[in-house]
Amino acid sequence: MAEIDARLREDVHELGELLGHTISNQLGADFLDKIERIRKSAKGARRGSREGAEQLSASLDQLADDELLPVARAFNQFLNLANIAEQYHRVRRREPQEGEPFEACVLSELLQRLLASGHKGEALARQFARLDIELVLTAHPTEVARRTLIQKYDAIAEQLAAGDHRDLLPAEREQIRTRLQRLIAEAWHTEEIRRSRPSPVDEAKWGFAVIEHSLWHAVPRVLRKADQALQAATGMHLALDAAPIRFASWMGGDRDGNPNVTAAVTREVLLLARWMAADLYLRDIDQLAAELSMQQASAELLARVGPSAEPYRALLKQLRERLRTTRSWAEAALHERLEAPAMVLQDNRELIEPLSLCYQSLHECGMGVIADGPLLDCLRRAATFGLFLVRLDVRQDSSRHAAALNEITDYLGLGRYAEWDEERRQQFLLTELDNRRPLLPGHFKPSAETEEVLATCREVVAAPAASLGSYVISMAGAASDVLAVQLLLKEAGLQRPMRVVPLFETLADLDNAGPVIERLLGLNGYRARLHGPQEVMIGYSDSAKDAGTTAAAWAQYRAQETLVQVCRDKQVELLLFHGRGGTVGRGGGPAHAAILSQPPGSVAGRFRTTEQGEMIRFKFGLPDIAEQNLNLYLAAVLEATLLPPPAPEPAWRELMDRLASDGVAAYRAVVREHPQFVDYFRQATPEQELGRLPLGSRPAKRREGGVESLRAIPWIFAWTQTRLMLPAWLGWEQALDAALQRGEGELLAQMREHWPFFRTRIDMLEMVLAKADGNIAQLYDERLVQASLRPLGEHLRGLLSQAVASVLSLTGQSQLLAHSPETLEFISVRNTYLDPLHLLQAELLARGRQRENQTDSPLEQALLVSVAGIAAGLRNTG
């Protein structure tokens, strides 16, 4: 077993020690001793000690009700501190002999490879400048950490960085330790869990905070280093207006199944984004006005500001006044609808032009070294974030549009839209899209549901085009779903193009995606309304929930292949939007590998993907971490564009067809067809309790019903808590085992060696299996599941063991992650703190189910803390 880096181990030890001091100070040395006994017995139990296992179980059983919450909090806080230490370790100062981490040099190494493979420098620079990567930040129903705690955790990371110098004086080191002690005490004495659900506006503010505290600083650093790498490789610089990475958001725009996201909420979030953008630029402009005190300026700049001893400051003060007016108007408009004064900035060019004028003037006057400082960073931010910070997507379910149109056609005496076949729907929609008269009379009084759909469309019309991204249609299944949204937007008065994006989610919809887009692109008039690429969203969450990850992954791959070919044949650019979650069961995993495993031609300089909930925090919460992850995105999209993977061999495709067929049959045999499955799921996991907890603004269910009614995130989250991780692997065990039984092991090995798609799937499967733990899942069964259902749990754990055996057979390893011993060791260290939380959670669930309707009780609070701790320890929820 590899040792964890000594510096990381020291940080974890120090943070744990300081947490122990804090606990002891509040609850006494005896209570801390109890925590330590639990930890040591968990460690012994993990190493196979029967005595340790018995002592652990006894210690937890003996806890009084009033001890459950502080014990859960202790282990939860330690796992959060371990996360901070591990995250900081990724970006810590490196000794000269250590070399740069992969993330820091991935782009420059790729550029050299591309040159060596025959790409010309000028063409490379042009392609890089044209990259169009958009990361879409989404809220997360299982994000449990409060924003105030996240800020304290960030401050702890800053102190670890401050202490990462060998030449610190003893007094300086003691000062840092004192600050760490204070911050850990602040975190311990702060309630981890919010008492009420966040609103969609709260979620949007959380997203804005990530931009303010991290991405605002990371983006210019990433682009500065990309420019240096590009210049070193090609001799060319990155254009000032290049924005290879931009950001969009679903927070405040995603109304699919969330009645809390209304047209009024969308308007409020758009205005808050404008306020935040203006405020952030004002901070930049204040700094620039203080620094750019030079007198010499270009004739163009002097002509703009007139006679001035400090021309740069004179121009920047004009911009500052407009930003202040913009901020004041946005704040006032939150409370009443106000026309924007002429001074309000409306177009990004109004922000960039004065900054560019200062930049060019400084270069003309021999002060390029000044121009290439904070002024250049501000220009990069302006190109990336613009006046609207993020582009807000709107998302709604296709059934809501169909219901609105049904009400309209019924009112107009045209028949019932809901009863029409696809041909008649298309004919009606195309006719009305081309008709110059309004469809609806002014006196039409819609139902509340239809009025909300129409009100949303009116907000889209009222918002500046640059503030909006795409209108995404959930559960799209036909060309009419896209035309319906276009008609509703036209009826609201939209006279500019907007991308209307079908989202294909289920297995059947993914298989039908190509034909639907082919039909759409063949319709008269549709192409004329299509400005820019045809965007299509691929759903990872619901397809995996519908069919299991084996069949879903292959369906997603084939759908992309078909869409690439359809758009190529129709001579239309394609933009694929990947609805990936944080976990393997929802298309998650390392983005770099995932992008490089996409079908050839599917990443043609463009890439759009969701970044969800706690993964936003882990990947972008700190500027240095954000910088690493943005580098990976840049390099992966450039490589996938210019060095795409080869198309799979016919034999690989045939075997993948068999794997998918076996996988979906095995998955559905359990999830859909086993008569006891739903009852077992609800008893063995905290699924029902999760639905009551104040985790997010969106309900856990779309409607009443069984597993099919659950959203994909809580479905996966519930299994993650018990460590069975069922949705991420179920189906693979049968698919791989059948292939090995057929003697196809050599072909599987060949696919893993030469096909990035298959290799990435197996790597992700191996990672999730390494985090799964059948023994922990069994403990939940023993405490929570009635005897008649336990054989099903035993059967599922047997399938888990089968999945592990199949992966080990395929990889030729003696244990999972043998190729990554440090990762394996860190999982092992975390298990010492996770095991007590799992046992505690099972006990809390059992006690809570015996005492129903005790919401907001210490038991309920302790349960939620255990949920948060397990999520933190496993580094994912859903």
Beta strands (DSSP E) in 484-627 are 499-504, 534-539, 574-579, 606-612
Which of the following is catalytic: 225, 545, 578, 592? 545
In this structure, are residues 420 and 428 in contact, taking their beta carbons and an 8 Å threshold? yes
The DSSP annotation for 142-178 comes to: T--S-HHHHHHHHHHHHHHHHT--TT--HHHHHHHHH
Strands 468-474 and 391-397: parallel
Among the listed residues 140, 217, 225, 771, the single catalytic one is 140
d(CA 729, CA 869): 23
Rounded distance between C-alpha atoms, residue 227 and residue 115, angstroms? 16
Angle at alpha carbon of residue 733, lines to 729 and 737, rounded to 5°: 155
What's the token pair of residue 807? Answer: 């992966």
As a whole number of angstroms, the distance between CA 608 and CA 606 comes to: 7
Q: Tell me the C-alpha to C-alpha distance, in Å, between residue 524 and each of 165, 175, 233, 320.
A: 67, 71, 47, 48
- Residue by residue, DSSP assigns 627-680 as HHHHHHHHHHHHHHHHSPPPPPPHHHHHHHHHHHHHHHHHHHHHHTT-TTHHHH
DSSP string, 126-146: HHHHH-EEEEEEE--TT--S-
* Residue 788 burial class via C-beta count within 10 angstroms: exposed 0-12, middle 13-18, buried 19 and up: exposed
**Beta strands at 132-138 and 606-612: parallel, antiparallel or unpaired:** parallel
Decide if 801 contacts 774 (C-beta within 8 A): yes
Contact 255, 203 (CB under 8 A): no
Among 131, 267, 135, residue whose Cα is nearest residue 214: 135
How far is the C-alpha of 236 from the C-alpha of 596, rounded, in Å? Answer: 26
By the 8 A CB rule, do 408 and 417 touch? yes
- Residue showing tokens 């949920």: 867
Instruction: Say whether 245 sits in a helix, a strand or coil.
Output: strand
Where do we find the tokens 């810590």?
A: 92
Q: How far apart are CA 557 and CA 504, in angstroms?
A: 13
Asked if residues 578 and 135 have their Cβ atoms less than 8 Å apart, the reply is no
C-alpha distances (whole Å) from 855 to each of 68, 693, 851 are: 16, 9, 10
Residue 501, classed as helix, strand or coil, is strand
**Rounded distance, CA 761 to CA 767, Å?**
10
The secondary element (H helix, E strand) that includes residue 474 is strand 468-474
Q: Is there a catalytic annotation at residue 140?
A: yes
- Closest of 196, 205, 187 to residue 149, by C-alpha: 187
Catalytic residues: 140, 545
